[in-house]
Amino acid sequence: MPEGHSVHRIAARFRSTFVGEVIRASSPQGRFADGAALLEGKVMQDCYAVGKQMFARFADDLHLRVHLGIYGAWDFSTRLTDGEPDTVRDGQTGEYADAASGSMGAPRAARVARVRAGEEEVTGTSGTEGVWPPEPVGAVRVRLLTDRVCADLRGPTVCEVITPPEAAAHLERLGPDPAVDGKRRGWTRFREKAAHRRTPIGSLLMDQSMIAGIGNIYRAEMLFRAGIDPYTRTVDLDEAQLRTLWDDWCRLLPVGIDTGVIVTRTELRGRAKQAMLDSVADRHHVYGRAGEPCRVCGTPISLADMQGRKLYWCAGCQPR
């Protein structure tokens, strides 16, 4: 499931390529035809993320709310102009993605750079020429299109057009997000929401009404970094432990937004750091490493089910 850093990156991509543009909207799949009709021909005025949810604001007080859920992803295609290099700059990171052949306008040949943005970002080239806009691939719930950029959404849990009061109600139900609330205000909100809960901290960190954006990977890694057993009742944690978790989320989220990947072994430097970035297997302390020795104490990493999701922890570094 895409975690908060991915959704912030997607919103940033929309801000850099769609905001201020008249949007052509359609639903190739047909399931969002009424919503697409409401957005057709409207200017996108803003796009932002809170936790795992994205909100795009359009003219006439319309908001598009998207929650990618477990399987959702956006596919971005960018039409390259004549003389433009076969790469396209990422609006969030400033990095360049590979360009693939494709096209735009009344059907004519054009080169197209593609990025699939979901749980991770994938770029690549097709090596063939096509037409613009590219043909929809798979069950595309909604297509948003400008003269230069096409965004196709597939597999979301939520995709709906809502009013400003409805958007405000959804935002009110979400917990603090460091990229939105800031460190100080977010901590105050998190402490007030969480401090007296009897829920195990491993469950509470996944509750988007308590703290927004944390998914399965960040949950496991943050608890390991804090040395907290995931089954500890939140009410039994002292304020310093809660503050440690919040401060770590404030530290890790910007790294994820900048790099596009979940990086939690932040102590690494030099070649070890690059190796960690290049290999998913080397990227985390406990997540995905059930039965393997802890990188710190050697204890085999534990695996259990918590509310239908896999939970990883080290019994040696996270004692009860």
Question: Which are the catalytic amino acids?
Answer: 2-3, 52, 309
Record the tokens describing residue 92, joined without a space: 């969030």
d(Cα 275, Cα 265) in Å, to the nearest integer?
A: 11
d(Cα 212, Cα 218) in Å, to the nearest integer?
A: 11
d(Cα 277, Cα 203) in Å, to the nearest integer?
A: 28
Are the C-beta atoms of residues 201 and 222 closer than 8 Å to each other?
A: no
DSSP element (H, E) containing 122: strand 121-124
Instruction: With CA atoms as reference, report the closest residue to 202 among 145, 245, 163, 250.
Output: 245
d(Cα 101, Cα 134) in Å, to the nearest integer?
A: 10
Record the tokens describing residue 78, joined without a space: 């960018």
For residue 132, report the phi and psi dihedrals to the nearest 5 degrees: -110, 140
Q: Which residues of 202-235 are buried (b: 16+ CB within 10 A; e: fewer)?
A: bbbbbbbebbbbbbbbbbbbbbbbbebbbebebe
| The CA-based dihedral angle spanning residues 76, 81, 85, 90, taken in that order and rounded to the nearest 10 degrees | -30
DSSP element (H, E) containing 97: strand 96-103
